[in-house]
Amino acid sequence: MATFEELIDEAAAASVDGWDFAWLDGRATEQRPSWGYARLMARRLAGVSSALDIQTGGGEVLDEAETLPPLMVATEAWPPNLARATERLHPRGAAVVADQDEPPLPFADNAFELVTSRHPVTTWWAEIARVLRPGGSYLSQQIGPENLSGLSAYFLGELPAEHYRARRTEDARDGAEQAGLEVLDLRTERLRVEFFDIGAVIYFLRKVVWTVPEFSVERYRETLHRMHEHIQREGSFVTESCRFLIEARKRP
pLDDT band at 163 (very low <50, low <70, confident <90, very high): low
Give the count of alpha carbons within 13 A of 164, CB side only: 19
pTM score above 0.75: yes
pLDDT tens digits for 84-136? 999 999 999 999 999 999 999 999 999 999 999 999 989 999 999 999 999 99
Which tens digit of pLDDT belongs to each residue from 185-234? Answer: 999 999 999 999 999 999 999 999 989 999 999 999 999 999 999 999 99
Q: Is the dihedral of CA 149, 85, 44, 172 positive or negative?
A: positive
Least confident of 52-56, 59-63, 160-164, 165-169: 160-164
Q: What is the mean pLDDT of the chain?
A: 95
pLDDT, residue 1, reads 81
Looking at the chain, how many residues does it have? 252
* 70, burial (CB in 10 Å: exposed 0-12, middle 13-18, buried 19+): exposed
Regarding beta strands 132-143 and 28-30, do their DSSP bridges make them parallel or antiparallel, or are they unpaired? unpaired
Cα distance from N-terminal residue to C-terminal residue, the chain: 61
Please say if the pLDDT value at position 74 is more than 80: yes
Three-state SS at 137:
strand
Read off φ and ψ for residue 230, nearest 5 degrees.
-60, -45
Domains of the chain: 4-250 (3.40.50.150)
Tell me how far apart the alpha carbons of residues 102 and 185 are, in angstroms, rounded to a whole number.
25
Confidence band, pLDDT 50/70/90 cuts, at residue 43: very high
